[in-house]
Amino acid sequence: MRIGYFTNLYPRATDTFIQREVAGLRARGFDIRTFSVRRPGEEHEVAREVVIEKEKTHYLLPVGVTRLILSNFAAFVSRPGRYLGGLVLALRTRRPGLRGLALQFAYFQEAILLSVAVRRQRITHLHNHLGDNSGTVTLLASRLTGIGYSITIHGPHIFFDPTHWALREKLRYSQFVICISYYCRSQMMLFTDPADWERLRIVRCGVDPERFRYHEVRQQVKNLLYAGRLAVEKGLGFLFESLRDLSARGYELELTLLGDGNDREHLQELARRLGIGERVVFAGYASQEQLRESLQRSDLFILPSFAEGVPVSLMEAMACGVPVLATAVGGVAELVEPEHTGLLVPPADSEALSNAIARYCSDVELRQRVSRSGRQAVVARFNLDSEVEKLAQLFLTGAGA
């Protein structure tokens, strides 16, 4: 079975969950071809496997005007009904206003380019990750080609504007839609037709526990770790405030940030302004090997986000036995059970973060308990191999479609 995997920007340093999924499917005999709208920058080339995946991926952009016109002409002449049907669907699912019209026209052009590429490579099924603008391109490309499609919905941002992202139509015309959590499925149910809910399937993101060596907790807490994008929705400013307050209370803690993003300069300035600049290390993007090494050196893993799906970074930390602290948002509670596999605090509450960190520091028995239970939870419920097997069966059966 030849499946086209499509996202807006692939492979990124933060796309390890997609890359692992692709590798797992290929190991099961699936012929996976990867497609992306744009090529990620060199800063994402954190490991050889990312570079290899990048070399294999077909990119839609940039494209010359002449080629775009000829692609539209060929698509219309060869399948006028599908071309016009795709155009009507694009107009029907557009956002109001001139900007919405311009964006949808761009998505339709990308769908034309994708339809040419998937036909040339004889793709039999098209799968999209994330479901936002690249999900719209997938929807339109399916209409243009007649190739069935599926989407993995992560959230949470896509649920903030469900009409703009045409969630109802994306489910209606799909063979199936994968939700990474029960929370995600419930949000999809809010914005789609109940008649289509049977095509909502849960397949979790997962990790390979064997690649994350477990280590017992240390007697003292010193090294804190965050891994993810440096973006405002990650709530890092509140973590910085907590670190400042804890420093004033006599705690000697250091925080390492693995990742990068648009908020980096602001966060660097904030750390200096709060007087914790020497306690915060901006380490940039990291390979999987570098991440594992950082987890082995860490005493706590903290994710202070305002919104999340079910973060793979938390799974990786728990697999290594690093006690985790996260905010009670999105599907996080399906992974982090308070007092059992970690601690949860309200979002945007630096005092609650401070108190939870201080509690971890003073209670080694709590850290030992959540460390062992966290590893067990990942092995039992977020195991990459078993989740990829679920996905493989859906591809083979089409979820009954």
Give the span between the Cα atoms of 274 and 236, in whole angstroms: 13
Q: What is the pLDDT of residues 203-217, one digit of tens each?
A: 999 999 999 999 999
Nearest Cα to 235, choosing from 162, 319, 299, 330?
330
pTM of the model as a whole = 0.93
pLDDT at res. 57: 97
The pLDDT value given to residue 62: 96
Q: Residue 208 has what pLDDT?
A: 95
Q: What is the side-by-side strand order in the sheet with 125-130? A: 58-59, 31-38, 2-9, 125-130, 149-153, 176-179, 200-202
- Name the pLDDT band for 399 (thresholds 50, 70, 90): very low
Tell me the CB-side half-sphere exposure of residue 8, using CA atoms within 13 A: 10
Residue 212, classed as helix, strand or coil, is coil
Query: What average pLDDT does the chain have?
Result: 95
What confidence tens digit (pLDDT) does each residue in 120-159 have? 999 999 999 999 999 999 999 999 999 999 999 998 889 9
80-92 helix and 65-78 helix, angle to the nearest 10 degrees: 110
Cis before 96? omega within 30: no
159-168, 293-302, 331-340: least confidently modelled range: 159-168
* Contact indicator for 318, 374 with CB cutoff of 8 Å: yes
CA geometry: angle 13, 16, 17, nearest 5 deg: 145
Q: Taken in order 306, 310, 312, 317, is the CA torsion positive or negative?
A: positive
Domains along the sequence of the chain with CATH: 2-206+384-400 (3.40.50.2000), 209-381 (3.40.50.2000)
Is the distance from CB of 302 to CB of 326 less than 8 angstroms? Answer: yes
Q: Is the pLDDT of residue 68 over 90?
A: yes
